[in-house]
Amino acid sequence: MTSEWWRTATIYQIYPRSFADANGDGMGDLAGITAHLVDLEELGIDAIWLSPFYTSPQRDAGYDVADYCDVDPLFGTLADFDAMLAEAHARGIRVIVDLVPNHSSDEHEWFQAALAAAPGSAERARYLFRDGRGPAGDEPPNNWESVFGGPAWTRIVEADGEPGQWYLHLFDSSQPDFDWTNDEVREEFRRILRFWLDRGVDGFRVDVAHGMIKADGLPDYTPPAEGGSMGGAGGVAGDGDGVALEPEISDEGDGAPYWGQDGVHEIYRDWRALLDEYPDDRILAAEAWVDPLPRVAKWVRPDEMHQAFNFAYLETPWNAAALRTVVDASLDAFGAVGAPSTWVLSNHDVVRHATRLALTEANPQGHGLGARSKGLPEYATGVRRARAATAFMLALPGSSYLYQGEELGLPEVIDLPDDARQDPTWFRTNHERYGRDGCRVPLPWNADAANYGFGATGTPWLPQPELWRTLARDAQRGDADSTLELYRTALRLRREHALGAGTLEWTELDGVADASVLAFRNSGVLVVANTGSTPVPLPAGEVLLASSPLDGGTLPADTTIWIAA
């Protein structure tokens, strides 16, 4: 296998509970993934990243881990994982697994021991327990708010039945934060890394990689109203013309006292040294919601992580000027530390880009969309823009991430019944925010099968819309105009022309003065994106790829083409 494969890889995110259900209980599982690896090989990806499948009470869909070294029975067994890993490797597909180091489940044996122990004990020192404020200690230790809404502190009842200390949970109350100043916590995660590396995994996507370390003294902090839920710049509307690259946060440790503290880098240097003991380029990929891009690049310095998700790019609207700005900033920032830029448009935490890029109202990150949301696009508009955006992204040098189902053109599911929603955000905000269920609806594989092929029996854990019938994989396979075939063609051409290893050179098109048109060359391919609403003259040359049907001699609105240059 090629050295430093991660520099140019296309990595496909699998959300296991929504990918494929092999045992018919309504929940996706590891055996379902194994059964469909042939489809991913056919798609043309290089690696898969699996969201958590570990033992968990599933209060936050597996991001509340009770045992980091076992498989939750919902998803199968360690033997099922080993079989999936072996099959993936046999097909030339690498496997990255999620790691959740900021917090555990409250059912983790360590937290249960902490509840049973006394204040000041070694068991409590693994987490962030603090005495409350006020004469009776009945006020939280500070004013921090949970990412999911509501306070970030919960008070426990001590063994004597009296109200006691408070514990920190930046997410749900069932997800207590570890204290990463504790050497025992650090050693435990070294053990966890080795457990999975020894089984043969190819790397880790690190959840909340900008968290873990909190500012000394845990000072009060009130986030800006426009901030994103995880510390980024927040969402934007699809038709906007701005991109948040230079917010007020400009140096390490500024801003929220629980995000992006300098101490996280010591942890990742330690982990990188551990991974470097293993062969075959095992990698670390950071979920780090920080701004601006030069600050994100600190996570991928040569002795730290290999990749960091480019959320500035994900949050950029479908607008030529904004795209050029963020691409230049990304290549400059990551290139300055010798790392590849990554590109991503969708994942399990954000509104699918087949909906998001065509919104006409702001899309606050983490809030989600539902019946009360404004500015919702028609499906045809959203998927047309999404296809164009993907064609633009897959031509960029560096590594790209895809989210399961985007190759089918799946939109955000807006009309989920209220009683079907399961995201903690929905409950912790008293139904004010919809949360992330809309991008997590189980996939359609077969148009005419039960549950559209997701599982032969059982009711899927989230209901699937009727639209899934027309978007099912078997309905799209072989249809040259389908989104599936667009992705397959783009990924094949990306490999053939080595676009991931290329160099971007912006260019101007003769006779085209429209500011909504963006063009660049990379490894013998001319890429032209029309982000505007008016057709423009089509450049001369052999068209290798078009995100939408071409109309005579013009490049239609919301369309990207690749031309042999």
Residues shown for the chain: 565
Residue 277 is among the residues annotated as catalytic for this protein:
yes
Q: Which residues contact 158 (CB under 8 A, 6 or more apart)?
A: 119, 164, 165
Tokens at 99, concatenated: 């790691």
- The Cα 147–Cα 158 span in angstroms is 26
Q: Which among 332, 443, 410, 330 has a CA at the least distance from the CA of 35? A: 443
Beta strands in 460-524 (DSSP E): 505-506, 517-522
- The Cα 436–Cα 449 span in angstroms is 26
Alpha helices in 203-360 (DSSP H): 264-275, 293-296, 311-314, 320-335, 353-356
- Contact, 484 vs 501, CB < 8 A? no
- Contact, 306 vs 269, CB < 8 A? no
- The Cα 346–Cα 360 span in angstroms is 18
- Contact, 121 vs 164, CB < 8 A? no
Catalytic residue of the set 80, 123, 207, 423: 207
- The Cα 322–Cα 490 span in angstroms is 23
Residue 313 phi, psi dihedral angles, 5° rounding: -70, -45
Tokens at 391, concatenated: 């064609």
563 conformational bin, left if phi > 0, alpha if psi -120 to 50, beta if neither:
beta
Is 298 in a helix, a strand, or coil? helix
DSSP classification of residue 357: T
- Contact, 524 vs 504, CB < 8 A? no
Which string of DSSP letters, residue by residue, matches 103-133?
B--TTSHHHHHHHHS-TT-TTGGGBTEEPPB
Alpha helices in 371-423 (DSSP H): 379-393
Q: Which residues contact 225 (CB under 8 A, 6 or more apart)?
A: none
Residue 207 is among the residues annotated as catalytic for this protein:
yes
- The Cα 259–Cα 3 span in angstroms is 33
DSSP classification of residue 85: H
The neighbour count for residue 135, using CB atoms within 10 Å, is: 7
- The Cα 297–Cα 248 span in angstroms is 17
Catalytic residue of the set 248, 277, 508, 542: 277
The DSSP bridge pattern shows strands 47-50 and 283-286 to be: unpaired
- Contact, 410 vs 440, CB < 8 A? no
Residue 244 phi, psi dihedral angles, 5° rounding: -85, 95
Residue owning tokens 């597909």: 93
- The Cα 461–Cα 459 span in angstroms is 6
Instruction: List residues with catalytic annotation.
Output: 207, 277
